Amino acid sequence: MPMSRNRDAYAELQRLLREVDTLRSIQATLGWDQETMMPPAGAPARAEQLALVAALGHERSTDERVGALLAECEADATLLADERVAANLREIRRDYDRARRLPTALVREFAETASLSMNAWKEARQRSDFAAFAPWLAKVVELNRRKAECYTDGGSGSALYDALLDEYEPGARAADVESIFTELRGALVPMIAEVAGAAAQPDDAPFRAAVPIPAQQELGRFVLERLGFDLMAGRLDTSTHPFCEGAAAGDTRLTTRYAETRFPDALSSTLHEAGHGMYEQGLPKREFPGQPLAQSASLSIHESQSRLWENMVGRSPEFWQWLMPVAHRVLGASTHRFSPDDLYRAVNRVERTLIRVDADETTYNLHIMLRFDLERALISGDLAIADLPAAWNDRVRSDLGLEVPDDARGCLQDIHWPMAAFGYFATYTLGTLYAAQLWDAIRRDLADLPDQIARGEFGALLGWLRENVHRHGRRYPAGELCRRATGAPLDAAPLIGYLRGKLAAVYGV
């Protein structure tokens, strides 16, 4: 940092923001605990804790003092001459202006409702009881609409949804997302139809082999460490919905889930969350404690990291060449008959299914587009809460050709709306698009990568991601980060090309 008369102002600003970030990290830890450890009867007290911490964080982040210090720093050319400081101030300004638009009471109500709603959803989903969850859904939609109105000064129509999307994907607009989704959809639909008619369908036998869960856990931990996830600064646990929580510097927590059969699914989840986790561990959290520069660029960039490890690495033939001998040793007799190629083909099967998180790489994106469309309709009011199950089931019929047998396997399957997150789903497919584009750049830069993967060496790959993505934090917006790392703006072509190549190899289409 350059010498400056405002050096003190910048230092004090950083100190204040560090406290705000500490409150955020407490919220993250309590959220992790809620999904992994908390006993059921603890739910009401947890909602109260989360609401209070959210309110305290909001109060502190919107304090007049923060605004005054920020203005002082922004007026100082010496400070702005350091490009990293300038980027940090730009992002602090963004956070401050957005936070100032929300009343603390709304932030508090939002956090408390999200926590209670998640618990209500867990019960409703178990009984596949949409009616029981509908009042909570109405509540979280209304809260999101109120939040969007604050962000847009009482705006309406597509501006409301854009304001929500902007929370997860800064600068993104639904119209642009729709445009790239439409291009992708145009390629996916015929691809999926062609594959469905292919003569050589991969055998899914590896997904039916019974493997004891402790053995799957051992394999998962082995893979985590080899990829480069630091278990001294993180954990791996079990939860209904796998997730990654980058709670604090030195404390990144992953979860996955296991079934006695379907060991490749548990491993995919572990790889996916490890991708998120290695991004969190690669952010410069100790260098810029509590500051935007230490945070992820956007949710889609986060997702690009998880998809890259889960799909580009974990569904490659080289990965299974490396892992299969280990898997044979760890997983036991029921897997001995499978070759690396059996696994490669099995994990790349394309099949229309009901559940997003179980979907293959190709059809997965149709699940996202469906949610992206329906949540926009919920926020705009074009779709009434009560009509959601029917609208969902219609889309599953037309997009995937399946009948939804119950809401638990339909509109109640995901945690996102229950946790009051609207504007989130699109980042999954955006992240997959970024992953494919990054992968093309990586393959150009690391010619030897397939051989490295076949030897279980991931250091060069992780190094590339650290250098081109992780270390930048929020220094560049997602699109700019992509341009710098890959030389081009985001484009659907790399993902379409990647999937075509994959399906040609597996299905011969």
Rounded-to-integer distance, Cα 58 and Cα 185, Å: 39
Cβ neighbours of residue 152 closer than 8 Å, sequence gap 6 or more: 159, 160, 163
- As given in the structure block, the two tokens for residue 115 are 């926590």
Rounded-to-integer distance, Cα 428 and Cα 416, Å: 12
Out of 3, 40, 153, 175, the only residue in the binding site for its own copies (CB under 8 A) is: 40
Out of 4, 6, 25, 429, the only residue in the binding site for its own copies (CB under 8 A) is: 25
Residue 256: φ, ψ to 5°: -140, -175
Please report the sign of the dihedral spanned by the C-alpha atoms of residue 232, residue 470, residue 495, residue 440.
negative
Work out whether 53 is an interface residue with its own copies (CB under 8 A): yes
Spacing of C-alpha 508 from chain mean position: 31
Nearer to its own copies, 53 or 331 (CB): 53
Shortest Cβ 238–its own copies spacing (Å) = 13
Nearer to its own copies, 234 or 479 (CB): 234
Shortest Cβ 482–its own copies spacing (Å) = 30
- Which uninterrupted H or E stretch holds 273? helix 263-282
Out of 56, 89, 141, 408, the only residue in the binding site for its own copies (CB under 8 A) is: 56
- Give the angle 147-153-155 at the CA atoms, nearest 5°: 80
Shortest Cβ 43–its own copies spacing (Å) = 7
Out of 2, 7, 52, 497, the only residue in the binding site for its own copies (CB under 8 A) is: 52
* From 169, 273, 280, 361, active-site residue: 273
Work out whether 334 is an interface residue with its own copies (CB under 8 A): no
Site for its own copies in 182-241 (CB under 8 A): 230-235
Shortest Cβ 119–its own copies spacing (Å) = 11
Work out whether 326 is an interface residue with its own copies (CB under 8 A): no
Work out whether 86 is an interface residue with its own copies (CB under 8 A): no
Work out whether 54 is an interface residue with its own copies (CB under 8 A): no
Out of 6, 14, 49, 316, the only residue in the binding site for its own copies (CB under 8 A) is: 49
Work out whether 115 is an interface residue with its own copies (CB under 8 A): no
Shortest Cβ 229–its own copies spacing (Å) = 11
Burial class from Cβ neighbours inside 10 Å (0-12, 13-18, 19+) for residue 28 reads middle
Out of 103, 186, 250, 459, the only residue in the binding site for its own copies (CB under 8 A) is: 250
Shortest Cβ 20–its own copies spacing (Å) = 10
Nearer to its own copies, 6 or 25 (CB): 25
Rounded-to-integer distance, Cα 231 and Cα 35, Å: 20
CA dihedral 451, 332, 349, 339 (to 10 degrees): 50
Residue range at the interface with its own copies (CB under 8 A); choices 138-146, 203-211, 247-255, 323-331: 247-255
Work out whether 104 is an interface residue with its own copies (CB under 8 A): no
Work out whether 37 is an interface residue with its own copies (CB under 8 A): yes
Which residues face 246 on adjacent strands? 252
Nearer to its own copies, 269 or 281 (CB): 281
Rounded to 10 deg, the angle between the 459-468 and 426-445 helix axes is 120
Work out whether 249 is an interface residue with its own copies (CB under 8 A): yes
Shortest Cβ 176–its own copies spacing (Å) = 37
Rounded-to-integer distance, Cα 396 and Cα 371, Å: 10
Using alpha carbons, list the distances in angstroms from residue 324 to 146, 331, 332, 333, 344: 52, 10, 12, 13, 10
Maximum CA extent, the chain = 73
For this structure, is 303 an active site residue? no
450 close to 313: Cβ distance less than 8 angstroms = no
Contacts with its own copies, residue ranges (CB under 8 A): 19, 22-23, 25-26, 29-30, 33, 37-46, 48-49, 52-53, 56, 230-235, 247-251
Positions marked catalytic:
273
